[in-house]
């Protein structure tokens, strides 16, 4: 049957990200040229309304086309728990590419009890069979729900492996926030599974809150650019090998200054975690810009060829 677009309600906090503007335009063009391949799935709500269980992007594409109604398969008398399972199952089966964060949230919807904070054995087994993956893999994706958004995004971007994300998911939120800040301002800093497991071990599966020094030592120790875990965590560590401190002098501080300031601002509630990460990015960029300007001024003072200087600085990203 057809339902009016104005009578449709979205599924709140759905696990799957909406299409990008470009992909939505492509879907709209396909519907315009070929018609709607599959009706959307909805359940009835009071006051003659319907809630979308599958087909949010198709609905938005039809809105772009100026449609007033859309073909829908309507389910009656569906409770919240069954509806949640349908949202997860239909999208897991229909989508060609699923991000780790989307899979994690979908598995969370499939939990056996609304009040359960962890998946039961039965829920794990059922989800594994439905998804055609191992129970262990389902449990790994489930753990990603305990990551802060910044680290979860790294998993989606394949800058942090699934197993690395699982290990970090056991850490306290304040520790996760600090790790995200380090990654945001560090050049070439990668997060390995071994590092994640070591942090998890030190934190005793999240029972303890690690110090910033402990975290920095673990993350820098395994990097070939930073062979010594005891090496001070300096601005050189933050900006990458070959960088110098903000005052362009010798590296004679422990380098925690601006990270400590950001952490204090977050802990006092002056800025959010996201704002702290943005600030870290900003400071890193400003330090890099100041460093390049100092190089330019120094070389010009020595009478070096301006065009050659600018060409070299351009190749280095200035």
For residue 36 the two structure tokens come to: 């709607």
Instruction: Please spell the DSSP secondary structure of 185-198, one letter per residue.
Output: H-SS--B-HHHHHH
Integer Cα distance of 276 and 123 in angstroms: 37
pLDDT attached to residue 17: 86
Integer Cα distance of 317 and 81 in angstroms: 52
Average pLDDT, the chain: 78
Q: Which residues contact 103 (CB under 8 A, 6 or more apart)?
A: 92, 141
Better pLDDT: 128 or 163: 163
Q: In this structure, which long-range contacts are made by residues 238-244, counting pairs with CB atoms below 8 Å and at least 24 apart in sequence? A: 238/182, 238/185, 238/186, 238/187, 238/284, 239/185, 239/186, 239/187, 239/284, 239/287, 239/288, 239/291, 240/186, 240/187, 240/188, 241/187, 241/188, 243/187, 243/287, 243/288, 243/291, 244/291
CATH number of the structural domain 1-97: 3.90.1530.10
pLDDT attached to residue 213: 84
**Mean pLDDT in residue range 136-141:** 89
pLDDT tens per residue across span 4-45: 999 999 998 888 888 999 999 999 999 999 999 899 999 999
pLDDT range class, residue 291, cuts 50, 70, 90: confident
Q: Assess whether pLDDT exceeds 80 at residue 302.
A: no
Better pLDDT: 230 or 189: 189
pLDDT range class, residue 234, cuts 50, 70, 90: very low
pLDDT tens per residue across span 50-95: 999 999 999 999 999 999 999 999 999 899 888 988 888 887 877 7
Tell which residue, 45, 46, 99, 31, has the closest CA to residue 75.
45
**Mean pLDDT in residue range 177-201:** 86
Task: Give the orientation angle of helix 193-202 with respect to helix 212-221, to 10 degrees.
Answer: 150
Q: Which of 104-113, 160-169, 225-234, 258-267 has the highest mean pLDDT?
A: 160-169
pLDDT range class, residue 145, cuts 50, 70, 90: very high
Q: Which residues of 189-227 are buried (b: 16+ CB within 10 A; e: fewer)?
A: bebbbebbbbbbebbeebeeebebebbbbbbbeebeebe
Tell which residue, 58, 67, 69, has the closest CA to residue 94.
58
Residues linked to residue 50 through DSSP beta bridges, in sequence order: 8, 44
Better pLDDT: 229 or 12: 12
Helix extents (H) in the chain: 21-34, 56-64, 80-94, 100-109, 121-131, 135-143, 149-156, 162-168, 173-185, 193-202, 212-221, 235-239, 257-267, 273-301, 306-315
- CA dihedral (227, 229, 231, 232) positive or negative: positive
Task: Give the orientation angle of helix 100-109 with respect to helix 80-94, to 10 degrees.
Answer: 150
Among 6-15, 95-104, 110-119, 268-277, the range scoring the smallest mean pLDDT is 110-119
Q: Assess whether pLDDT exceeds 90 at residue 136.
A: no
CA 310 to chain centre: 36
pTM exceeding 0.75 = no
**Mean pLDDT in residue range 160-171:** 95
- CB 232, CB 221: distance < 8 Å: no
pLDDT attached to residue 26: 94
Q: Locate the domains of the chain by residue range.
A: 1-97, 100-146
């Amino acid at each position: 049957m057809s339902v009016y677009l104005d009578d449709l309600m979205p599924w709140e906090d759905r696990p799957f990200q909406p299409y990008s503007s470009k992909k939505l335009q492509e879907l709209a063009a396909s519907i315009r040229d070929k018609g709607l391949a599959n009706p959307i799935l909805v359940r009835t709500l009071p006051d003659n309304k319907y809630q979308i269980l599958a087909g949010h992007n198709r609905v938005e594409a039809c809105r772009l086309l100026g449609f007033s109604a859309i073909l829908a398969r309507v389910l009656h008398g569906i409770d919240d728990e069954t509806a949640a399972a349908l949202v997860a199952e239909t999208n897991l089966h229909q989508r060609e590419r699923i991000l780790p964060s989307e899979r994690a949230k979908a598995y969370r919807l499939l939990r056996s009890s609304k009040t359960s904070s962890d998946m039961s054995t039965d829920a794990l087994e059922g989800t594994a069979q439905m998804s055609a993956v191992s129970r262990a893999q389902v449990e790994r994706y489930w753990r990603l729900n305990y990551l802060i958004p910044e680290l979860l995004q790294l998993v989606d971007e394949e800058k942090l492996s699934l197993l690395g994300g699982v290990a970090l998911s056991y850490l306290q939120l304040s520790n996760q926030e600090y790790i995200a800040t380090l990654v945001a301002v560090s050049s070439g800093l990668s997060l390995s599974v071994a590092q994640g497991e070591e942090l998890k071990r030190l934190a005793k599966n999240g029972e303890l809150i690690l110090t910033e020094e402990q975290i920095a030592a673990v993350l820098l120790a395994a990097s070939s650019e930073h062979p010594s875990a005891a090496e001070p965590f300096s601005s050189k560590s933050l900006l990458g090998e070959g960088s110098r401190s903000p005052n362009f002098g010798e590296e004679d501080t422990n380098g925690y200054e601006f990270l400590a300031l950001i952490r204090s601002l977050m802990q006092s509630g002056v800025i959010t975690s996201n704002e702290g990460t943005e600030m870290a990015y900003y400071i890193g960029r400003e330090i890099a810009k100041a460093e390049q300007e100092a190089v330019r001024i120094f070389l010009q003072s020595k009478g070096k060829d301006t065009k050659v200087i600018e060409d070299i600085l351009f190749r280095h990203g200035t």
